[in-house]
Amino acid sequence: MYDLIDHFPKQLEEALTIGRAAKLGAPKGPYTNVVVTGLGGSGIGGRIAAQAVADEATCPIEVYSNYYLPAYVGKGSLVIACSYSGNTEETLAAMHQALERGARVVAITSGGTMLDLARSKGLDHIVIPGGNPPRTMLAYSLTQQFFVLKHFGIIKADFEPAIANAARKLQADKAQVQAAAKDLTEKIHGKRVVIYSEAGTEAVCIRFRQQLNENSKELCWHHAIPEMNHNELVGWAGGDQSLAVVIFRHKADHERSQIRMEINKGVFAKYTPHVFDVWSEGMDPLGRQLHLIHLGDWVSYYLAEKKGVDPTEIAVINMLKGKLAEVK
């Protein structure tokens, strides 16, 4: 797991090479909506990409992590099916539904049934490297989301320089990122972690939560500002010192959201002294998101190490899949 996290910057560079070489069909369109179907480590790339391009996307982009698609998906829809293994049953079910409704389907996968289906039906597809836990391959699946959105005219901006710059910066700043991750790990060890950010960074919070779940074997939760100010903030009346708050922040966060964060911190401090700001670094918005993702991944690894648990082990998920396979 250490090596896989360590290789994240290099994976970003390799993902750009894969995306540039991808052979996708004529865009056609225009498309009325984009739906990304995927779960866990395969689906989070869609959520991050959708938030990253929200201010320029020519149509709505929604992520569905289920067996079905919304009723509006049809001939004017672009559906991005993302399953790292190619065998995720929920994603395959949604993919079949998209095809039945006449949607344009693009597959992002390393193989399995999804790749076989894409090839047999002549669907657009991008093949990414296989053989590793899906959550460790985010650089590949996330980057391909941008290539697909650009190819099909959903976005126009050139995202490649931002990813390339982020890869170089993360590699150059490796020691500082690891040091910051170790410091945060020491602060949250032994506590239940609550993760917050402005709404535009919520997908990165989800990624951190998922990494703590799988790598660190930790229960935790996340919420976004300003929404949590209208509900969860009241729930802090039940907070205590067993909780540690991690707030992912950007200097470019909305000024009113930053005011809210400072007021929120005063509320949290009434119940726990463990409240920590984590500020992003990078040359552009996407680079700053990637910085937080990489730092969070390192925290999940160091926390697993500190707890003495195997960050690669996901026996309970494999058990669930085995039980489901028994049911015809």
How far, in whole angstroms, is CA 289 from its chain's centroid? 10
Q: What is the pTM of this model?
A: 0.96
pLDDT of residue 215: 97
Domains of the chain: 2-162 (3.40.50.10490), 175-307 (3.40.50.10490)
Listed in sequence order, the residues at least 6 apart from 7 whose beta carbon sits closer than 8 Å to its beta carbon are none
pLDDT tens string 100-150:
999 999 999 999 999 999 999 999 999 999 999 999 999 999 999 999 999
pLDDT range class, residue 29, cuts 50, 70, 90: confident
Of the candidates 274, 294, 275, the one whose C-alpha atom is nearest the C-alpha of residue 179 is 294
Find tokens 């290099």 and name the residue: 10
CA-to-CA separations, 135 to 85, 123, 165, 316, in angstroms, rounded = 11, 25, 22, 16
Of the candidates 132, 120, 255, 250, the one whose C-alpha atom is nearest the C-alpha of residue 196 is 250
Q: Which of 90, 202, 214, 218 is catalytic?
A: 214
The answer to whether 147 and 12 have CB atoms below 8 angstroms apart is no
321 belongs to the catalytic site = yes
pLDDT of residue 49: 97
Q: Which of 23, 230, 251, 270 is catalytic?
A: 230
230 belongs to the catalytic site = yes
The answer to whether 239 and 272 have CB atoms below 8 angstroms apart is yes
pLDDT tens string 178-191:
999 999 999 999 99
Dmax over CA atoms of the chain, in Å, equals: 60
| DSSP of 168-212 | HHHHHTHHHHHHHHHHHHHHHTTSEEEEEEEGGGHHHHHHHHHHH
10 belongs to the catalytic site = no
Q: Is 316 helix (H, G, I), strand (E, B) or coil?
A: helix
The answer to whether 241 and 190 have CB atoms below 8 angstroms apart is no
pLDDT-wise least confident of 22-36, 91-105, 257-271, 313-327: 313-327
The answer to whether 35 and 97 have CB atoms below 8 angstroms apart is no
